[in-house]
Chain A
Amino acid sequence: MTDRSHDRLQDPPLSARLTENAVAMADALRRNPTMLFGLVVLTVMALLAFGAPYFGLPEPMRQSPIDRLQDPSAAHWFGTDMYGRDLLSRVLHGGQISLVVGLSVAAMATSVGLVIGLVAGFNRRVDAIVMRFMDALMSIPSILLAIALVALWGSSVQNVIIALTIPEVPRVVRLVRSVVLMLRDQTFVQAAIACGTSTTRILFRHIMPNTIPPLIVQATYICAQAVIFEAYLSFVGAGTPPEIPSWGNIMAEGRMFFFQNFGIIMYPGIFLAITVFAINTFGDGLRDSLDPRMKRRI
């Protein structure tokens, strides 16, 4: 019997596994109201941000100098900025950038970190070199590194995403590596090695699935942090280009006028805070339901 067919015999079909996961997820959500709360808030945010073009609001970039720096009114719920642009429309559209940046950074940092961490954890020689490099990268405060990268590469959403991903990778690598090191000597891995299973197969089939739960939790924190850091980058002038509304940009532009209309900073700030708060509560909930030891205690 080849190794491949042996695996197939043991594994239930993919569809069954997916249903099983979906049921487990629904169960976890039911038992964990804070996680459900986070997920609901996030869904609402995403609907508001990506549905913004269809709400019949003024164009986020349409200037109307005569209406500038207005207080909230029936026509402009959040008031207007220094160019007379509708703040509500800008804040809702701005959510698109923040959510895209947050999700992309989380997805990229975890996938790159996962591959490097798996290899480093399993191969001592690679480990020695890679981890020294990661230590060095971790010694540079992440925002400074991201600021320097965007300053050199130029402002674009893509550059912001890459610049925020690079400093996060070493932390993911460390996490994955620690799980791999722990599992490497466990019986089921030793058994797989004894059966002559290829290293790639052991890594991706037997070890990787065990790294996923802590990794998902880590991904939520990376996502939350990336949303804040996007705002920091835009604020210091090394972020999303000014012609694209993002929460960071709107607040950065509003700082000159915060005496006249604090709403320019406050409204995007509140939206950002709610979003990050929701991601963090969702992450906390996930951690509690994925880590049974934590759940019992809290």
Chain B
Amino acid sequence: MFAYVVRRLLATIPIMALVAVFVFMLLHMSPGDPAVVIAGDFASVAQVEEIRTQLGLNDPLHVQFLNWAAGLFRGDLGTSIYSGLPVSRLIGQRIEPTFMLTLTTMIIAITLAIPLGVIAAWKVGTWIDRAVMTVAVLGFSLPVFVLGYALILGGSVRLGWFPVQGYTSIFTSFPGFLRHITLPALTLGLVYMALIARMTRATMLEVLNEDYVRTAYAKGLPTRKVLIKHALKNAMVPISTTIGLGLALLIGGVVVTESVFAIPGLGRLTVDAVLRTDYPVIQGVILVFSLTYVLLNLLIDLTYVLFDPRIRY
């Protein structure tokens, strides 16, 4: 197991290196002079020149890359063009709300989606199944911000149960945190829930056809036990894979949801950086999100052992 973890961690290094090359090349693949693109339409020649020097764009490409990559190893993601602060510090300041939002969303989505998917598969073909699947497809079809604004209008403006926007750190006040996180997490949770519920239902349908499920029923086990201990446990591997792959979707949703609810997280940082073409910040955020995504998926691969004793690492 330990050897496997080390091997997998080592295997992520070349992938992350390629991601880094890719993220670095993005700027140079853009048409025209990168310095001009970053400086914007209204910059003077001197400002463009300043950005060129600041980003080291006068050096040959490989020197630029090596300098930048060397910085990455020291945890130096560059300096924001707009604020002049180190990108790593900007990301550090913004990471907590994003982390908490993602975590809350995952908790809500997973605790709702798996039971719904199991019930839909159990009652396949009935109105319950159809209702769950309709909600699931709807969750896919609605852009998160439409739902977000609808929830603000209903839950905050009309009912006054929740604050309209903003964020309170969990370390400052737990009730305040809950009041602020509920609507954004529900908004984002619906999409993620839809994905997991669909996968749960599909896998459960497959598993429920297996001989060992019939055997379990035949030996007189109660339905609940068959569904959870025999069927769901066997369905968990593909479901966890979907949870992992769905994280990419979740990260995208976080960017939009944070804008809707004015949460000062990484998503807001990205959107602000896009509006100001603050390229080092965009690069830094992409790298951090990609690394998180890869590591979380590795973590999920490792959880397979919990569900399937045949899997040995």
Whether A associates with B in a native complex is: yes
> Quick one: which of B37, B124, B145 contacts A255, CB cutoff 8 A?
B145
> Quick one: which of A142, A232, A269, A298 contacts B142, CB cutoff 8 A?
A269
One of A55-63, A74-82, A130-138 at the interface: A130-138
Minimum distance in angstroms from B100 CB to a CB of chain A: 18
Asked whether B279 lies within 8 Å of A152 as measured between CB atoms, the reply is yes
- Does B138 belong to the interface (CB within 8 Å)? yes
For B222, list chain A residues within 8 Å (CB): none
- Does A292 belong to the interface (CB within 8 Å)? no
- Does A209 belong to the interface (CB within 8 Å)? no
- Does A122 belong to the interface (CB within 8 Å)? no
Query: In chain B, what residue has the closest Cβ to A145?
Result: B286
Asked whether B145 lies within 8 Å of A235 as measured between CB atoms, the reply is yes
In chain B, residues 235-286, which have Cβ atoms closer than 8 Å to a Cβ of chain A? 247-249, 251-252, 255-256, 259-260, 270-271, 273-275, 277, 279, 282-283, 285-286
Asked whether B140 lies within 8 Å of A224 as measured between CB atoms, the reply is yes
- Does A259 belong to the interface (CB within 8 Å)? yes
- State in angstroms the CA–CA spacing of A154 and B255 once bound together: 19
Majority-rule SS of B interface residues:
helix
- State in angstroms the CA–CA spacing of A141 and B23 once bound together: 12
> Quick one: which of B16, B30, B137, B294 contacts A281, CB cutoff 8 A?
B137
For B279, list chain A residues within 8 Å (CB): 152
One of A3-11, A87-95, A211-219, A272-280 at the interface: A272-280
- Does A144 belong to the interface (CB within 8 Å)? yes
Minimum distance in angstroms from B99 CB to a CB of chain A: 15
Mask: chain B, 103-147; 1 = CB below 8 Å from A; 0 = not: 000000000000000000000100000000000011011110110
Given contacts A140-B22, A148-B26, contact A297 B251 (CB under 8 A): no
Asked whether B270 lies within 8 Å of A132 as measured between CB atoms, the reply is no
Asked whether B149 lies within 8 Å of A235 as measured between CB atoms, the reply is no
For B286, list chain A residues within 8 Å (CB): 140, 144-145, 148
- Does B153 belong to the interface (CB within 8 Å)? yes
Which interface class (under 10, 10 to 19, 20 to 34, 35 or more) fits A? Answer: 35 or more
In chain B, residues 1-60, which have Cβ atoms closer than 8 Å to a Cβ of chain A? 14-16, 18-19, 21-23, 26-27, 29-31, 34, 37
Asked whether A152 lies within 8 Å of B16 as measured between CB atoms, the reply is no
- Does B173 belong to the interface (CB within 8 Å)? no
- State in angstroms the CA–CA spacing of A160 and B76 once bound together: 31
- State in angstroms the CA–CA spacing of A151 and B26 once bound together: 11
- Does A266 belong to the interface (CB within 8 Å)? yes
- State in angstroms the CA–CA spacing of A240 and B44 once bound together: 27
For A229, list chain B residues within 8 Å (CB): 252
Q: How many contacting A-B pairs (Cβ < 8 A)?
A: 147
Minimum distance in angstroms from A38 CB to a CB of chain B: 10
For A226, list chain B residues within 8 Å (CB): none
> Quick one: which of B15, B26, B29 contacts A139, CB cutoff 8 A?
B15
For B248, list chain A residues within 8 Å (CB): 141-142
Query: In chain A, what residue has the closest Cβ to B140?
Result: A280
> Quick one: which of A136, A153, A235, A274 contacts B259, CB cutoff 8 A?
A235
In chain A, residues 192-237, which have Cβ atoms closer than 8 Å to a Cβ of chain B? 224, 228-229, 231-232, 235-237
Asked whether A144 lies within 8 Å of B285 as measured between CB atoms, the reply is yes
- Does A149 belong to the interface (CB within 8 Å)? yes
- Does A114 belong to the interface (CB within 8 Å)? no
Asked whether B209 lies within 8 Å of A297 as measured between CB atoms, the reply is yes
- Does A238 belong to the interface (CB within 8 Å)? yes
Asked whether B142 lies within 8 Å of A141 as measured between CB atoms, the reply is no
Asked whether A141 lies within 8 Å of B293 as measured between CB atoms, the reply is yes
For A152, list chain B residues within 8 Å (CB): 26-27, 29-30, 34, 37, 277, 279
A residues adjacent to B (C-beta < 8 A): 132-133, 135-137, 139-145, 147-149, 151-154, 224, 228-229, 231-232, 235-238, 248, 251, 255, 258-259, 262, 265-266, 269, 272-274, 276-277, 280-281, 284, 297-298
15 new A-B contacts, CB < 8 A, other than A144-B251, A265-B146, A272-B141, are A133-B18, A140-B22, A144-B286, A144-B289, A151-B282, A152-B279, A228-B143, A236-B259, A237-B275, A238-B274, A259-B157, A273-B146, A274-B141, A280-B140, A298-B205
| 3 nearest A-B pairs in the assembled complex, by CB-CB distance | A143-B252, A136-B18, A269-B146
Can you list 16 A-B contacts with CB-CB less than 8 angstroms, sorted by A residue number?
A: A141-B248, A147-B255, A147-B274, A148-B282, A152-B27, A224-B141, A229-B252, A231-B143, A251-B143, A255-B145, A258-B153, A259-B157, A262-B150, A269-B146, A273-B141, A280-B140
